[in-house]
């Protein structure tokens, strides 16, 4: 029960890594808001594991404000925020990615971090405590061709994590990130472009441990970084990648 008495918001928790993180946090004693743009998925995860389902568009300020306001109203306070919601564009030459796809990637992956900070950091400051975990990607550490603007958005998240950490540390607020390698989640076909056994084998050949990551892998890393065991850890962008970035 490493999060007993804690409360958390996990965005993009209706599937994939977010659902895995929410499940583990609940198992470890936290009260968790399972936030997702797909309300049906959020409710399904909450029904299966517990937690409070909430629809949110993380790229929309009023929607993010409603999420934070409800979490504080239901839980009394918020201890942990996991910015997990993310999207990608299909693999393509950088100059051929549409402007709409570019805007969507940066709105969901980057603007969301600003919007959640704007909504929740004042609450954290008032309590002189808080914990933010940003879910970036190995794409932001070791970029791959044809995912240029997705790579860039995740690199932005890593830089934002460090900038937030150094500014918020005196306020008692820790900010870290995890950099997952691709997992067998709903986003995988978008990364691969052509989800075939051959493409999967090609991708797996770049991961020394030899497998895709799992929601459990991310949940374990998130649990440590968001627990009191990591009370001296801030500004860390942890690679959870089976050695891909070595």
Q: Which two tokens stand for residue 205?
A: 């050949």
CB 107 within 8 A of CB 59: yes
Question: How many residues are listed for the chain in this entry?
Answer: 246
Complete DSSP assignment for 64-91: HHHHHHHHHHHHSS--EEEE-----PPS
CB 7 within 8 A of CB 79: yes
**Set 49, 124, 150, 212: catalytic member:** 150
CB 211 within 8 A of CB 204: yes
Pairing type for strands 52-55 and 80-83 reads unpaired
CB 22 within 8 A of CB 43: no
Please report the sign of the dihedral spanned by the C-alpha atoms of residue 15, residue 105, residue 108, residue 220.
positive
> How many whole angstroms separate alpha carbon 205 and alpha carbon 184?
15
Sorted by sequence, the CB contacts under 8 Å of residue 226 that are 6+ apart come out as 3, 6, 8, 25, 80, 82, 131, 133
Pairing type for strands 7-11 and 80-83 reads parallel
Tell me if residue 114 is catalytic. no
Angle value at C-alpha 173, between 242 and 121, nearest 5 degrees: 110
Catalytic annotation, residues: 150
């Amino acid at each position: 029960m490493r999060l007993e008495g804690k409360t958390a918001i996990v965005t993009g928790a209706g599937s994939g890594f977010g659902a895995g993180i929410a499940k583990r946090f609940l198992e470890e004693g936290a009260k968790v808001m399972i936030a997702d743009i797909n309300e049906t998925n959020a409710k399904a995860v909450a029904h299966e594991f517990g937690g409070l389902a909430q629809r949110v568009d993380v790229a929309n300020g009023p929607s993010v404000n409603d999420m934070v306001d409800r979490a504080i109203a239901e839980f009394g306070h918020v201890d942990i925020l996991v910015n997990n919601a993310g999207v990608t564009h299909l693999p393509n030459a950088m100059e051929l990615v549409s402007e709409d796809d570019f805007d969507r990637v940066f709105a969901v992956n980057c603007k969301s971090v600003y919007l959640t900070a704007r909504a929740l950091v004042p609450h954290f400051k008032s309590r002189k405590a808080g914990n933010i975990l940003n879910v970036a990607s190995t794409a932001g550490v070791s970029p791959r061709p044809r995912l240029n603007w997705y790579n860039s958005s995740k690199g932005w998240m890593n830089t934002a994590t460090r900038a937030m950490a150094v500014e918020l540390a005196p306020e008692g607020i820790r900010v870290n990130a995890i950099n997952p390698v691709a997992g067998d989640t709903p986003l995988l076909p978008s990364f691969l472009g052509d989800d075939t056994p051959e493409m999967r084998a090609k991708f797996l050949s770049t991961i020394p441990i030899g497998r895709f990551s799992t929601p459990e892998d991310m949940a374990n890393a998130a649990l440590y970084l968001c627990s009191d065991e990591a009370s001296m850890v801030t500004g860390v962008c942890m690679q959870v990648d089976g050695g891909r970035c070595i």
